[in-house]
A and B are shown apart, each in its own frame.
Chain A
Amino acid sequence: MKLSEKRNIVVWFWSRLLIVLLFLLGLNEVYKQTLWSSDVQKYSRVRNRIDSAFSAGDVIYLGESSNTSFNPWTDTLNQSIGDFLQLYLGQNKKVEQITHEGYHPGLFLEMLNLTPDLNSVSGSKKTIVLGVNMRTCGPTAIFSGNEASNQREALFYSNRPPLLTRIYMGLHFYDNRNELERERLKVQWWRTRELPVKEKTVKLWNDKLARNFDSSMHPDVMHMAGAYIKEFGFIINDQNQRLLDLEKIALVCKQKNWNLVFHILPPNRYHAERLFGDKLLSIMDANYEFLKSKFKLWGVTVVDNYYLPEANQLNAENKGTFYTDQWYPTEHYNSVIRRAIAENIAKTMLNESPRSPNWQAIQSRVSGALQQNNYPNWSIVMPLSDSLIKTGIQR
């Protein structure tokens, strides 16, 4: 190549690059002033909440759908766990909630990274309360079809120039594996990851279930049983993606000098037991013990609600009905459990014993504030799966 040609190329390249860079700088400003806020509203469901929640709140409740689940059949109260927590903590501590269905520790971590090291508005340390859903560590949640849109949303949890975020979104510069690829990974997990049961894997277990299905069983129960195996049939280990995210959350909170409370959401052990006896429960319980030991190791305050529905003596015959989804394993609770969870979190945060006069006063204040019967109306018949699975299925 001739020297003059080389010089031409260099001059051409750098001059164009400079023009484009200047243009991008200007465009960033224009974008910030015009389209940015509508894009945030359109593509990031909680981005606008983050700044306000973290600057105004003493307690930040980070949750997924379990926070706000509401059973229109029986619930007389529709307060979220965070709302109940606010009632228990009183007006001296402002509880702010950031909640959306399908959110998981990976997204919460991005949010926490985004926020500056703010001190509490009332002078005390900020407290992060995070609901830990065991199923979030399983393949169904990790390879969920919603994950691409979650990851796109997470692009907005950043302080980078708005234009860059828009470019990342437009050019899909995030974990944008499509649903089919995620489905493949999920199925692969079910086929290859070993379980401490006779059937060895979720796939073989599910196959056996299908083979043993006969006409005396209700097809919906069969479907439900399959879902329970797929949702809870996994073993959490040290490499679990969500566990690593939780550990990073613990680290970030430590660095920012924030209190961190993990409260373990109770899975529907009742139906799991009815369907499979101890077989599935032993896996669930092992995961629970593993998580709890890790949280202790990281020095996180743990509110253990794992056995809460069973420990709750209310209407012992209908424990399964605490869960608003009767045909699928979810952590959606009616107000009895939502309130009880909040109560336990508050008790731990305030370091109160149940019998202390202070706590008794709080209890009566909360009951007074609610001014309603906080118990479900049992006379309404829910479409319960309960009666159908009383005899259990093939174990």
Chain B
Amino acid sequence: MPQKVRWVWMLAASYFFYGFWKIEFAALMLFTSLLDWFSARKLHQSSVKSVRLFWMWFAISIDLSLLFLFKYFDFALGKSWLAESMYDHSSTAWIIELGKYTIPAGISFYTFQSISYVVDVYRGDEIPENNPIKFMLFVSFFPQLVAGPIERFGKLHTQLFARYSPKLEDLKNGGRLLLYGLFLKVAVADNLAGVVDQFYQNHGNYTLASSWLATFMFTFQVYYDFFGYSLMAQGAGLLFGIDLMDNFNKPFLAGSVPEFWHRWHISLSTWFRDYIFIPVGGNRSGKLILSFSVLLVFFTSGLWHGANSTMIYFGLSQGILYLFDRFVVGRRGSENPYGLFLRRLKTGFFFMMTLVFFRGQSLDQSFDVYSMLIGNYDYTQKSLMHLTAEGQVWLFLFVGFVFDHFIMKKRADQWFGDQSLFLRWIVYLFMLTAVLLFGGAVNHPFVYFQF
């Protein structure tokens, strides 16, 4: 394909991909793109600080208002008088219906990506793009559109418009990442989801051991669901010669909560660091400001994950544990291997426990599950069910975890590339078989699609 039309083709493919689901939401993304492109140009053209600030906040406030309307409106209004009366009028009822039942896929991702561009231009870190249509591609590039990674303008934009001729190495690595990501999503995460869903659909009827098993499995379901997607996004990007950032880096090897968030959903963590944590005060203004910044970031992060009070609890509990690790645990035990092992265990355990809020449909359900986990539940009242997982669920979880956390010092695609042809193909065919024959039968959309 000629270099000149390559990006046009990618843009058309991106909008087709997104608009295929709901054309209205493609129009919403188009609006966000044009608004931020326009605002960034306006602020760049002015040297008056107040004007520059105005355009930055103008863009951010409209972006966040749209995000609020589509994602948090129903949560904020609940069953209030306003919601009731809006629903009673045919001219406004659709807004309530939309807020209640549909969230434009990936709206949180592309809104954050677009906001980062405006702020970067304001800070003088980036020069604004002159062509609005080219900017649209930066916001909508389809491999990372609906669930990240949230890329920065400087890195992604340059690659999108750089001269590129297909390389065999990119195709190989892209293909490997696609297959590995598909394996983690379809064979590991979806199978785990089947077990976890059983428990949460009827949590009161399961044994103590079952509640621990479900909590344990949900931790890996979320991880492999999102990690699998991120790898596929990277793989699809590589097929176009675009190198997207790593979104995960063996998070369960983290010795502390702060380290965990350096390894988990890296593109979001760094976004919060650069655009909220540091501007608010960060870690250079004393413990009080640091604590405030951390809690604000985690509160926002919780809210970003979903319009539900359970998500706010999830975010805040992570924030509190972050501060606990930072101020109380410190670097204790990190020098020797046993200590490090215990630290990793503790960090993983903290994360696993807070995920009960993440998975719970309501706070009541989450607290119910916590009660069950600590045995504060009358298990003698009725005949309880045992949650079980089929053999292949354990096998794929084991394989996924070993591959991901222990064998590979490098990223999956690079590790595969270093093996002999025979071993490589054994692994490929194993993963292919797992995907084709054992993919989870129940539909579990990517967990992060809803954010």
Residues of A that sit less than 8 Å from B by CB: 1, 5, 8-9, 12-13, 16, 19-20, 23-24, 27, 31, 35, 42-43, 148, 152, 163, 166-167, 169-172, 176, 178, 180-181, 183-184, 187-188, 191, 207
State the interface size on chain B (CB cutoff 8 A). Answer: 29
B440 part of interface (Cβ distance < 8 Å): yes
List the A side residues contacting B88 at CB < 8 Å.
207
Beta-carbon contact of A171 and B186 below 8 Å: yes
List the A side residues contacting B433 at CB < 8 Å.
27
Return A374 CB to nearest CB of chain B, in Å. 38
B102 part of interface (Cβ distance < 8 Å): yes
Beta-carbon contact of A178 and B437 below 8 Å: no
Contact of B441 among A12, A24, A169, A191 (CB under 8 A): A169
Beta-carbon contact of A8 and B168 below 8 Å: yes
Q: Would you mind naming 20 contact pairs between A and B with Cβ atoms under 8 Å apart? A: A5-B165, A5-B168, A9-B166, A12-B168, A12-B172, A13-B171, A23-B432, A24-B436, A27-B436, A43-B441, A148-B443, A167-B439, A169-B439, A170-B440, A171-B439, A172-B443, A176-B443, A187-B101, A188-B97, A191-B97
Beta-carbon contact of B101 and A183 below 8 Å: yes
List the A side residues contacting B172 at CB < 8 Å.
12
List the B side residues contacting A178 at CB < 8 Å.
443, 445
B100 part of interface (Cβ distance < 8 Å): yes
Return B119 CB to nearest CB of chain A, in Å. 33
Beta-carbon contact of A170 and B101 below 8 Å: no
Complex Cα distance, B429 from A207, in Å, reads 58
In the complex, residue of chain B having the shortest beta-carbon distance to the beta carbon of A1: B165
Beta-carbon contact of A5 and B167 below 8 Å: yes
Return A388 CB to nearest CB of chain B, in Å. 28
List the A side residues contacting B437 at CB < 8 Å.
27, 31, 35, 163, 166, 170
Complex Cα distance, B167 from A183, in Å, reads 47
Residues of B that sit less than 8 Å from A by CB: 88, 90, 93, 97, 100-102, 165-168, 171-172, 175, 186, 190, 425, 429, 432-433, 435-441, 443, 445
Beta-carbon contact of A170 and B435 below 8 Å: yes
Complex Cα distance, B437 from A1, in Å, reads 39
Complex Cα distance, B445 from A66, in Å, reads 34
Beta-carbon contact of A184 and B100 below 8 Å: yes
Give me 9 other A-B pairs in contact (C-beta within 8 A), A170-B186, A170-B436 excluded. A5-B167, A9-B168, A12-B168, A23-B432, A148-B443, A152-B441, A184-B97, A184-B101, A187-B97
Beta-carbon contact of A181 and B97 below 8 Å: no
List the A side residues contacting B443 at CB < 8 Å.
148, 152, 172, 176, 178
List the B side residues contacting A180 at CB < 8 Å.
101-102
Return A357 CB to nearest CB of chain B, in Å. 56
Report how many A-B pairs have Cβ atoms within 8 Å: 70
List the A side residues contacting B101 at CB < 8 Å.
180-181, 183-184, 187
In the complex, residue of chain A having the shortest beta-carbon distance to the beta carbon of B445: A178
Known: A27-B436, A170-B440. A12 touches B167 (CB 8 A): no
List the A side residues contacting B190 at CB < 8 Å.
170
In the complex, residue of chain A having the shortest beta-carbon distance to the beta carbon of B172: A12
Complex Cα distance, B444 from A178, in Å, reads 9
Complex Cα distance, B168 from A24, in Å, reads 24
Complex Cα distance, B445 from A35, in Å, reads 25
List the A side residues contacting B100 at CB < 8 Å.
184
Return A97 CB to nearest CB of chain B, in Å. 26
List the B side residues contacting A24 at CB < 8 Å.
436
Contact of B171 among A9, A181, A207 (CB under 8 A): A9
Known: A12-B171, A184-B97. A170 touches B441 (CB 8 A): yes
Complex Cα distance, B171 from A8, in Å, reads 11
List the A side residues contacting B165 at CB < 8 Å.
1, 5
7 smallest A-B Cβ distances: which pairs? A170-B439, A184-B101, A1-B165, A172-B443, A176-B443, A8-B168, A9-B168
Complex Cα distance, B171 from A392, in Å, reads 71
List the A side residues contacting B432 at CB < 8 Å.
20, 23
List the A side residues contacting B429 at CB < 8 Å.
23
Return B162 CB to nearest CB of chain A, in Å. 15
Which of B97, B102, B435 counts the most chain A CB atoms within 10 A?
Answer: B97
List the B side residues contacting A207 at CB < 8 Å.
88
Complex Cα distance, B175 from A42, in Å, reads 32
Return A176 CB to nearest CB of chain B, in Å. 4
List the B side residues contacting A183 at CB < 8 Å.
101
